[in-house]
Structure 1
């Protein structure tokens, strides 16, 4: 139930809102947000009605493209800011652990807000603990579930440790090099990132725009599948079409909603999904450990068993 509901928040509302914001900021012409919603709603309808095969075909092309565009853009900026990289790393660690920062975080409601935003945004970056990734990993054709689980686990490293670290260094080094790229002068993080990428002449904003759109849109398609699986499990195959129609409606309407409202809804639904899943993971930890040890112990053995094929 919570997975199905969360698909409308983290998987759809926030993502299409991010797409609308980046298009509104970087397009030379003014495009109404509702028009953006309608355009992406039509594209989404065409893709998700085709099922998991259609979603997979689109995502396997979008994901390498978005990674290439964004990572190359970050590398170019970091090379341009090379003399500020060590000071940026030092600033991050000093400000995270110096007494003033720790004390400030522990006063009054500061620790609550620090935990709330830290956990919420960390969860948003990789979905660890929500139970969403297994919904799509279970559709993979593999001889052993442990093998697929190990492959899926690398996603946390790439999204958070690599991509988020690069983004952080880009922002901090850019703020040190160019005082105009400053949180106090920007309405939100998106504008800060746009200003940072503007350091790449001519194509910087284009790289960021393409990256954000592909990042966000591949997430929308993936979560449409998560929600569809959850709806079918709860209500049967008859629920799939109504769910898809509702999901498409959210794609159309979410761009015109207030960003704070969209984020709040997403954070609440994420928590509702994570809590029961984390309890289940703890209860199943013995099974997970035993299966993993067995798989690693027999890693060198040749497995010629048939790969299970599930009709999706």
Structure 2
């Protein structure tokens, strides 16, 4: 292993070794490479040993924040959080735990587990299984091979774009989900939200089972074959794997292709106009939002929230 007092660190972990990084803040970039060596570099040329406790063993490398003041983690001042560039063997098992750090990872085929609080996560050119969770950070997964995805967010949005998914389990509270992938294999395939919407890009045949109390279900090529209170079953094309969508107030919209946003420069006249005031929220929507907030605070269960929202729907219908 190289000297821990420098800004660079190398350690041989083997083609399927383990790499673990615990970093409260900053930026993390992890890339899979050929070989059996893990490499860590502080892009600001700061000593890794001044920031991390480095645990190097046969087949593994772990970096975690230095511990000071009787067990309390040292506070990293604003602007001093590290920016790390990491290389690991393609097939290595990778674990990242962060608070506000931004995480990007690419070219990995081994097990991957990533947890952040407010940092965004961007994953590309991956294969195999992914277990990723954020609180308020957004999650973006772009793949070129089949993936098995377990993803969790609270308010962060999720975007999944890849040729095929063998297994999919996505859950958000208020975050929206974009799913652009052909669902193959035995699954299961499921998206769960409280108030978040699901935009589904139609790829091949698919069967959709949607349960949403107040949300809408529809879109291009979706043929509803069964409908009941809060539940709809539909098919796309000739059917195929089953995607389950569970939500309280979220919508499910099927689109034929990804929506393209076009930015328009405002004219001088338009720029001079005052910003339009947002319309007041109707009393019925106020009540719905209060139910959702109570659910997010843990004051009521999902079942209770569904029942209350259903009652409000009847009152305001």
TM-score bucket (shorter structure): under 0.3
User: In proportion to residue count, which structure has more helix?
Assistant: 1
Which structure has the higher relative contact order (CA within 8 Å, separation 6+)? 1
Larger Rg computed on CA atoms: 2
TM-score, with length taken from structure 2: 0.18
Q: Pick the structure with more strand per residue.
A: 2
